[in-house]
Amino acid sequence: MDNTTSENEIIIETIDLKKAYGAGDALVMAVNGISIKIKKGEFVAIMGPSGSGKSTLMNILACLDQPTEGRYILDGEDVSEYSRPELAMIRSQKLGFVFQSFNLLPRVSALENVMLPMIYRRENRISLAERKHIAENALEHVGLAERMHHMPNELSGGQQQRVAIARALVNDPVLVLADEPTGNLDSKSSEEIMELLHSLHDRGRTIVMVTHEPDVAHHTERIITVRDGKLFDDHPNGKRVTWQNATGIDFSPAQEAVQP
C-alpha cells in the first residue's frame, strides 16, 4: 500500500462552522464557529458534556444536517450547501455509520443488514452475488462468519454492534463515524468493539467517534473537546500511529476492501 501520498490527505476540513436553532431571542448557536482538520487515517474522539454541541457537530460531519454558516469540505468536496438528496448520495459514497443503539433492521438476517448500504449505491453498482460475497467477507472479518444468517434478536449486543460495523464498511467509506458505539454495551463487549475499531484504524481507516467516556476516548490518537459550541481542546493522545506498518488485507481503505 502506498501510504506516503495519502499521509497528509485531509478528509475533513471545517471552516468556521456554525449551526443555529430557533430565531430572534430564542436563537441558540449549537455550533458556533468550529474549524478543524482531520487527516486520512486518523482516529479521533469528539468529547464534550451534553449540550456542548458535539452531537450537532457530529450530525453535520455525518452529512445528516446542513450547517447554517461556514464550510464543510469532506474528502475534497464542499458539501456545506448540498441538498438532502445530494447529502444522501455523499453518505452512500463516502461514509459509514456506527450507532449507539446498533440500528439493525429487526426482521432481516445479519447478512442482509450488512448488504443494505450496497442497495443504495448509485455508482459502481454490483451484482447481488458480489454484494453477498462482500457482506460475507465483512462479517467474517468482524468474527461473525458463523452467525450471518441469524436475526438481530438472536445476537448479543456486542455481536449486533459488530454487524453494524461490518455494515459501515461494505461501501468502502473514506470516513467511519461512530456515535457512542459502546454506549449500550457492557465493559467486556465495549472492549471488544474498541479493539475492532482499533484494528480498522491500524489498517488505515479514518474514524471519528463521539463519546463521553474518557476510557473509550483514550483508545484514540487525538481527542477533540467541544464546549458551548466551540472548540475547547484538541490534542494528540500520544498513541502510536500504527497503520503505516499494517500488512493490511482486510479493511484497508480503497480497492482492497471491496475486492474479494
Partner 1 sequence: MNISEILKIALKSLTSNKLRSILTMLGVIIGVAAVIVMISISAGTEATIAEKINGLGSNLLFINQAFTRGGPGQGNQQGGLVYSDVAAIRDQVPGVAGVSVEQQSSVTIKYNDNTLTDITLVGTTPDYPTVRNVQIKTGRFITETDNERAEKIVILGSEIAAELFGETDPIGETIYANNVQLVVIGVLAPKGISGGTDFDSLIYTPINVVFKKFENNPFARFMGDRVRTIFVSVDQNASMDTVKEQITLLLTGRHKVTSDTLDFNITSQSDIISTQESTTESFRTLLAWVAGVSLIVGGIGIMNIMLVSVTERTREIGLRQAVGATPADIEVQFLTEALMLSLFGGLIGVLMGVGGSELFGKLSGMRTVIVPYSIVLSFTSAALIGVFFGFIPARKAAQLDPIVALRHE
CB of 192 to partner 1, least distance (A): 23
CB of 107 to partner 1, least distance (A): 5
CB of 16 to partner 1, least distance (A): 22
First to last CA, the chain: 17
Phi–psi pair at 120, nearest 5 degrees: -95, 10
How buried is 184 (Cβ within 10 angstroms: 0-12 exposed, 13-18 middle, 19+ buried)? Answer: middle
Pull the grid cell for residue 239. 498513541
CB of 65 to partner 1, least distance (A): 6
Which parts of this chain interact with partner 1 (CB under 8 A)?
Answer: 59, 62, 64-65, 84-85, 88-89, 91-93, 97, 99, 103, 105, 107-108, 116-117, 119-121, 167, 171
Say how far apart CA 47 and CA 145 lie, in whole Å: 34
- Closer residue to partner 1 (CB): 107 or 235: 107
CA angle, corner 111, sides to 110 and 113, nearest 5?
65
CB of 61 to partner 1, least distance (A): 12
- Closer residue to partner 1 (CB): 102 or 243: 102
- Closer residue to partner 1 (CB): 59 or 161: 59
Report the relative pairing of strands 69-74 and 10-21 from DSSP bridges.
antiparallel
Say how far apart CA 161 and CA 259 lie, in whole Å: 23
- Closer residue to partner 1 (CB): 63 or 223: 63
Say if CB 30 and CB 20 are below 8 A apart: yes
- Closer residue to partner 1 (CB): 10 or 88: 88
